[in-house]
Amino acid sequence: MAERCRERPTDRRRSFLDRIEYGGTHYHVRCGLYDDGRLCEVFAYGDKAGSDRRREIDDACVVVSLALQWGADINDISASMGRDGGNAPASALGAVIDCAARAMRKAD
């Protein structure tokens, strides 16, 4: 089996910012890119600093970013997130991931 390595992003990298709303809260979603345009990190800002939800979103975004740096595909992550009955994201994190996946599909 081939050994995988984490592909760390450069210290300075391009990024884009998008805005979404989930559960009455507005989020700014920042997506960092490798030099070749692939997604390497996702972060979201929206809830009050220090709130439980803010800490949970921050931590979850770190895990998603690490998964991307180890080779995971944002569309696979998006497809794996929980959904409500109408196929909408079941969580704020799901909405953030969907936002990043949509933006990367538009860029292709």
Q: Residue 5 domain-assigned? A: no
CB distance 7 to 69 below 8 Å:
yes
Give per-residue pLDDT as tens, 12-41. Answer: 999 999 999 999 999 999 999 999 999 999
CB distance 4 to 70 below 8 Å:
yes
Q: Residue 24 domain-assigned? A: yes
Structural tokens at position 32: 């960092």
Q: How many domains does the chain have?
A: 1
Determine if the pTM surpasses 0.85. Answer: yes
Q: Any idea which residue has 């770190």 for tokens?
A: 62
Taking CA 27 as the corner, what is the angle to CA 25 and CA 31, rounded to the nearest 5 degrees?
Answer: 160
Q: Residue 1 domain-assigned? A: no
Whether 1 has a pLDDT exceeding 70, the answer reads: no
* Tally of residues, the chain: 108
Whether 46 has a pLDDT exceeding 90, the answer reads: no
What is the extent of the structural domain holding 75? Answer: 15-107
Whether 62 has a pLDDT exceeding 70, the answer reads: yes
Q: Residue 28 domain-assigned? A: yes
Helix (H) or strand (E) segment spanning residue 52: helix 52-69
Q: Residue 92 domain-assigned? A: yes
Q: Residue 10 domain-assigned? A: no
Residue that wins the pLDDT comparison between 85 and 3 = 85
Q: How many Å apart are CA 51 and CA 98, to the nearest integer? A: 23
